[in-house]
Chains A and B, each alone.
Chain A
Amino acid sequence: MSDLLGRSDPAVVPTIGSALLRLGVALALVFTGLGLGLGYWQVVQAETLTTDPGNPLVQAAVRAAPRGRILDASGEEVAVNVRGPNGERLRSYPRPAMAPVVGYQSLIFGTSGVERAYDAELTGLKPLGPGGDMVRKFLPDPYDPSDLHLSVDVRLQEAAMAALGDQRGAVVAIEPSTGRVLALASSPTFDPNLLVDPAGGQAYLDSLRGQRASPLLERATQGLYVPGSVFKIVTAIAGLGSGAIRPDTTYATQPAEYFDGFRVEGFSIRDSPREFQTDDPLDLIEATEVSSNIYFAHVGLDTGPEAMLDWAARLGFGSPIDFDLPTAPSQVTNGDGPLFGFTDRVELANAAYGQGETLVTPLQMALVAACVANDGLLLRPTLVDRLVAESGRTRTVEPAVVRRVSSAGDAEVITQAMVTAVEGEFGQSFTGGAKVPGVTTAGKSGTAEVGDVARPHSWFIGFAPAEEPRIAIAVIVERAGTGRDVAVPMGGDLMELYLSLID
């Protein structure tokens, strides 16, 4: 039929049919690959893609769908929908003090805060239950917006914002047994109602950006501060946890060092002058009560750089905290030195009482207090209690254990030390202002040096009631003076208010 050349020896030339079989197999593999690609994008990645902020679908939903409300722990509305002057859908914030938590949703500037973190749920693009999207998209109105019920108590939040007033600072309060955030105040903040106003929003945003106090900075979660003496609680957790110290550990040279300074490689560590010092060396509880830098420098050096970093990391240092809002990572050291990141033993000794290169966020310190209050068990901080969709679907956020940081015994010792710091004979003079009347109160004050000229940061962390903690708190007021003068009474007042609210 055809003039096939050279077919004299067909045995060595493979038939076309045998190659076709292999080709068929290869094609089957290619088509399988395409099918898997379809499955990847249409099943595995489907939800990520349909809730991506760049998706026109999401942008259309923002305009078309009524957005879910945001409510505080007791059901007070903190974000609702209103109609703008031209009939457009606008967000209104009846309780502007919630701005550091709720953020804003603007047609021009997008979203921030919880409005951003739960955008897909608020617009109703993300179904609350699995498989909810399968059928719902066939309905004429495919969106199922959810109301957001926050754990934050707007009364405590407003009190915290009022207490901070014009000062720069932050307050973070957490329910220790659940990780629910009760207040998250940053000062100064902004008025979200002015920001989402289509007419004046741009001018207001420009004015906010121009302010030196940076009202758009979320200090509670992203402000990094020198912690001062409140960090001694972290050192105590590390010392006890690693076995470097016991509750009755004392340093024989400490009484003399109180007068002469504790010399570490030529650097002299000193305590603030105090009325209380006998020839008997201090133990952990006494050292916490009088906030001895020298004692905790010893603890830090005995614990060693590696264990210090390890135990701090257990508390969440070194990486962003898993939270609904973006968080900055806290650090024990900036990590560029040869000694596991520390420059030398001097830096380690300084870090042990919260100076050195140590920087923390208020949220991180609130977690430290909450962890001690919760018998050493670290819980994930949460802002949302539950979501209730228009369709009735509900999602409840359950407490989640991050990890056990300290044994219950260690946590008990540290609690005792913190109670003594507030209520002890000598501690009272530093931290007594945090005492909640009629309630055993645990706390630790801090006065963080930030250079020679500027006034120190005023710090307090604590919790109450010590036996059955309902609230753990961290307060920082920037450049406000000693902990005793500013942050300590503020923390005490807020804890007292909250305990009276929940009674």
Chain B
Amino acid sequence: MSVIVGVPVERPGAITSTLRRWGIRPRLRNLELLLLLLAAAALTVGWISLASQQAGRVTTGDPSVLMVYVGVLLVIHAAFVITGRRTDQVLLPVTGLLGGLSLLLMARLPQGLATQDLGSITLGLAPLQLFWLGLALAVLAVLAIVVRNDDWLRAYKYTWAAVGIGLLLLVFVLGDPTNGARLSLRIGPIAGQPSELLKVILVVFLAGYLAENRTLLARASTRLGPISVPPLPYLLPMLGMWGIALAVVIVQRDLGAALLFFSVFLTLVYVATRRRAYVILGLALFLAGATALYFLFGHVRTRVDIWLDPYVDPLGSGYQVIHALYSFGRGGILGTGLGAGLPAVSGTPGDLPAIHTDFVFAALAEELGMLGALAILALYGVIAERGLRIAVQAADDFRALLAVGLTMVIVIQAALIMGGNLKLVPLTGITLPFVSYGGSSLLANAIIVGLLLALSDRGVEPPPPPSPRRRFLSRGGSR
């Protein structure tokens, strides 16, 4: 893990002694602080660049949005220091930097893309995203600090599965169809996309199920033609997952979520059992399902056809894909600079439909160039690396599988939408974690990183403190 390990604060003062009485030992997190300051510096430069581009002279513009955001990050860092858990020090700065890039982009796009009326004030895209980011980071911090016990996840896996299926059914019944996809659920003034939460719940269930049954799944086999597969009862959950993925496509018309569920599922099954047969079987099921859906459902067919050749309908269904490619081409190696991309040239707000949700990667790649886009890619690479590291160091199978699953949700999601922007895979309407606009997605991904941070806690330090307490993982809890 980190080279710089936090140093326990020496000479306890009045505050620290009070904290100690509560069982809290503050400890510095120097690596996290350093990385956060680097991220803040990068975002400040970006903000000045954007404001100067928009004003035509060198200026900082109105930095309140950025200052609030950096302030939130530092407060969370301080909370981590005070509560003194030995959690990962890289995830928060990486998440923070991605969120900051998102703010830069949202501040630069036409503010009317998303609005919320609050009495006499109307909030635009950037303040709204700031609000959601703040909320998401708060959720992340609370989870990272508070979660010290995993029984509530481990013990009730079937309950969680039921909740997930319930959410799916709820969407099916009450769903709000927008853009042909039935994604959002509206309860009073609050609208949300339950499938964002569903992906977390699913990972919890799968980690529990696989940790319990992985020995059997890995060993037992019956022969099915040339490949040996486990006994049928153990295959049922797999077929169930396949069914859920199909249902998501059919019911919610959400191709991206289905792809994500299924690939996370296959990854987890492979990690738990290391059996290629599962992956092959899963891919075969996927191909069969995909082929059937292609011929049965118009929206699936359209997506695939545009992917194969967007120029068939350059002004209609292929418009987004082609214009995303123009963005990449315009960016080149160095990029145009923040605020100087295509929407500024054409002057038409929302020139690229869904630019603030589906095409954030293309927009950033245009303004930050290939170097900036590679950096974004690297940030997700770092998340993947931290997640896998947490899994390797996990205390047991459940925690390892949970860490892998949560990590893969973020990483596969990012890869699918970046690949879709780049026309490497069919474009699906999923979000780029922490960068795309949208409350549901931000909250779900914040829950994931918060849980990862909690999982990364390496417990109390080797030289035991005066009153050794087990801070985590003791059944029944000891808080």
Which A residues form the contact surface with B (CB < 8 A)?
1-7, 9, 12-14, 16-20, 22-24, 27, 30-31, 33-35, 37-43, 45-50, 52, 54-57, 60, 133-134, 137-138
Measured CB to CB, the closest approach of chain B to A488, in angstroms, equals 48
Binary A-proximity of B265-276 (CB < 8 A = 1, otherwise 0): 001001111100
**Residues of A close to B179: CB separation below 8 A:** none
- CA–CA, A14 and B274, complex, Å: 7
A26 to B, closest residue via Cβ: B267
- CA–CA, A57 and B401, complex, Å: 48
Q: Tell whether, in the assembled complex, residue A37 and residue B401 are in contact, meaning their CB atoms are under 8 Å apart.
A: no
Partner of A16 from the list B154, B333, B385, B391 (CB cut-off 8 Å) is B391
**Which parts of B347-406 form the interface with A (CB within 8 Å)?**
351, 365, 369-370, 373-374, 377, 380-381, 384-385, 388, 391-392, 395-398, 400-401, 404
Q: Tell whether, in the assembled complex, residue A34 and residue B422 are in contact, meaning their CB atoms are under 8 Å apart.
A: yes
- CA–CA, A112 and B293, complex, Å: 44
Partner of B325 from the list A14, A49, A56 (CB cut-off 8 Å) is A49
Q: Tell whether, in the assembled complex, residue A41 and residue B271 are in contact, meaning their CB atoms are under 8 Å apart.
A: no
Q: Tell whether, in the assembled complex, residue B330 and residue A19 are in contact, meaning their CB atoms are under 8 Å apart.
A: no
- CA–CA, A188 and B336, complex, Å: 47
Q: Tell whether, in the assembled complex, residue A38 and residue B334 are in contact, meaning their CB atoms are under 8 Å apart.
A: no
Q: Tell whether, in the assembled complex, residue B377 and residue A42 are in contact, meaning their CB atoms are under 8 Å apart.
A: no
Partner of A38 from the list B213, B214, B314, B365 (CB cut-off 8 Å) is B365
- CA–CA, A20 and B389, complex, Å: 9
Is there a chain A Cβ closer than 8 Å to B211's Cβ? yes
- Listed by A's residue number, 27 A-B pairs whose Cβ atoms lie within 8 Å are A1-B395, A5-B212, A5-B215, A5-B216, A16-B400, A18-B274, A19-B274, A20-B392, A27-B388, A31-B415, A33-B424, A34-B418, A38-B365, A38-B370, A41-B325, A42-B329, A42-B331, A46-B329, A46-B331, A49-B326, A49-B329, A49-B330, A54-B322, A55-B329, A57-B326, A57-B330, A137-B332
- CA–CA, A37 and B422, complex, Å: 6
- CA–CA, A33 and B219, complex, Å: 34
A4-B211, A5-B213, A34-B424 in contact; A23/B332 too (CB < 8 A)?
no
A45-B329, A52-B326, A134-B332 in contact; A38/B422 too (CB < 8 A)?
yes
Q: Tell whether, in the assembled complex, residue A42 and residue B397 are in contact, meaning their CB atoms are under 8 Å apart.
A: no
Measured CB to CB, the closest approach of chain A to B351, in angstroms, equals 7
Partner of B215 from the list A3, A6, A43 (CB cut-off 8 Å) is A6
- CA–CA, A6 and B325, complex, Å: 52
Is there a chain A Cβ closer than 8 Å to B43's Cβ? no
- CA–CA, A38 and B375, complex, Å: 11
**Which parts of B136-157 form the interface with A (CB within 8 Å)?**
154
User: Chain B: interface secondary structure?
Assistant: helix
Q: Tell whether, in the assembled complex, residue B422 and residue A20 are in contact, meaning their CB atoms are under 8 Å apart.
A: no
Given A23-B388, A55-B326, 17 additional A-B pairs, CB 8 A: A1-B473, A1-B475, A2-B211, A5-B213, A16-B397, A20-B271, A20-B400, A27-B388, A27-B411, A31-B377, A31-B381, A45-B325, A46-B328, A46-B329, A50-B329, A54-B326, A56-B346
Partner of A13 from the list B219, B337, B365, B369 (CB cut-off 8 Å) is B219
Partner of B333 from the list A19, A27, A43, A52 (CB cut-off 8 Å) is A43
Partner of B396 from the list A1, A35, A42, A52 (CB cut-off 8 Å) is A1
Q: Tell whether, in the assembled complex, residue A12 and residue B346 are in contact, meaning their CB atoms are under 8 Å apart.
A: no
- Count the A-B residue pairs with Cβ separation under 8 angstroms: how many? 157
A1-B473, A20-B391, A27-B384 in contact; A41/B346 too (CB < 8 A)?
no
Measured CB to CB, the closest approach of chain B to A48, in angstroms, equals 7
**Residues of A close to B342: CB separation below 8 A:** 56-57
**Residues of A close to B398: CB separation below 8 A:** 2
Most buried by B among A18, A40, A57: A57
Partner of B314 from the list A37, A46, A54, A133 (CB cut-off 8 Å) is A54
Is there a chain A Cβ closer than 8 Å to B419's Cβ? yes
A7-B215, A20-B388, A20-B391 in contact; A42/B333 too (CB < 8 A)?
yes
Leading 5 A-B pairs by shortest Cβ distance: A49-B329, A41-B328, A37-B422, A42-B370, A6-B215
- CA–CA, A4 and B272, complex, Å: 13
Which B residues form the contact surface with A (CB < 8 A)?
154, 211-216, 218-219, 267, 270-274, 314, 322-323, 325-326, 328-334, 336-337, 342, 345-346, 351, 365, 369-370, 373-374, 377, 380-381, 384-385, 388, 391-392, 395-398, 400-401, 404, 411, 415, 418-419, 422-424, 473, 475
A135 to B, closest residue via Cβ: B334
**Residues of B close to A56: CB separation below 8 A:** 323, 326, 342, 345-346, 351
A2-B154, A17-B392, A49-B328 in contact; A35/B374 too (CB < 8 A)?
yes
**Residues of B close to A9: CB separation below 8 A:** 215
- CA–CA, A54 and B330, complex, Å: 13
- CA–CA, A134 and B331, complex, Å: 10
Most buried by B among A2, A31, A43, A138: A2
Q: Tell whether, in the assembled complex, residue B422 and residue A41 are in contact, meaning their CB atoms are under 8 Å apart.
A: yes
Measured CB to CB, the closest approach of chain B to A131, in angstroms, equals 10
- CA–CA, A148 and B189, complex, Å: 62
Measured CB to CB, the closest approach of chain B to A197, in angstroms, equals 27
Q: Tell whether, in the assembled complex, residue B267 and residue A23 are in contact, meaning their CB atoms are under 8 Å apart.
A: yes
Partner of A19 from the list B271, B331, B337 (CB cut-off 8 Å) is B271
- CA–CA, A13 and B351, complex, Å: 54
**Residues of A close to B329: CB separation below 8 A:** 41-42, 45-50, 55
Measured CB to CB, the closest approach of chain B to A28, in angstroms, equals 8
A51 to B, closest residue via Cβ: B329
**Residues of A close to B370: CB separation below 8 A:** 38-39, 42-43
**Residues of A close to B332: CB separation below 8 A:** 42-43, 46, 50, 133-134, 137
Q: Tell whether, in the assembled complex, residue B391 and residue A50 are in contact, meaning their CB atoms are under 8 Å apart.
A: no
Measured CB to CB, the closest approach of chain B to A193, in angstroms, equals 30
Q: Tell whether, in the assembled complex, residue A50 and residue B326 are in contact, meaning their CB atoms are under 8 Å apart.
A: yes
Measured CB to CB, the closest approach of chain A to B271, in angstroms, equals 4
Measured CB to CB, the closest approach of chain A to B428, in angstroms, equals 15
A34-B424, A46-B332, A57-B345 in contact; A16/B219 too (CB < 8 A)?
no
- CA–CA, A35 and B415, complex, Å: 11
**Residues of A close to B415: CB separation below 8 A:** 30-31, 34
- CA–CA, A137 and B374, complex, Å: 20
B419 to A, closest residue via Cβ: A34
- CA–CA, A32 and B227, complex, Å: 31
- CA–CA, A35 and B274, complex, Å: 28
Measured CB to CB, the closest approach of chain A to B179, in angstroms, equals 23
**Residues of B close to A7: CB separation below 8 A:** 215
**Residues of B close to A22: CB separation below 8 A:** 274
Measured CB to CB, the closest approach of chain B to A385, in angstroms, equals 30
**Residues of A close to B273: CB separation below 8 A:** 14
A24 to B, closest residue via Cβ: B388
**Residues of B close to A39: CB separation below 8 A:** 370
**Residues of B close to A13: CB separation below 8 A:** 214-215, 218-219
**Residues of A close to B218: CB separation below 8 A:** 12-14
Measured CB to CB, the closest approach of chain B to A466, in angstroms, equals 51
Measured CB to CB, the closest approach of chain A to B201, in angstroms, equals 20
Measured CB to CB, the closest approach of chain B to A36, in angstroms, equals 9
**Residues of A close to B377: CB separation below 8 A:** 31, 34-35, 38
A23-B270, A57-B326 in contact; A134/B396 too (CB < 8 A)?
no
A23-B270, A43-B370 in contact; A2/B396 too (CB < 8 A)?
yes
**Residues of A close to B274: CB separation below 8 A:** 14, 18-19, 22
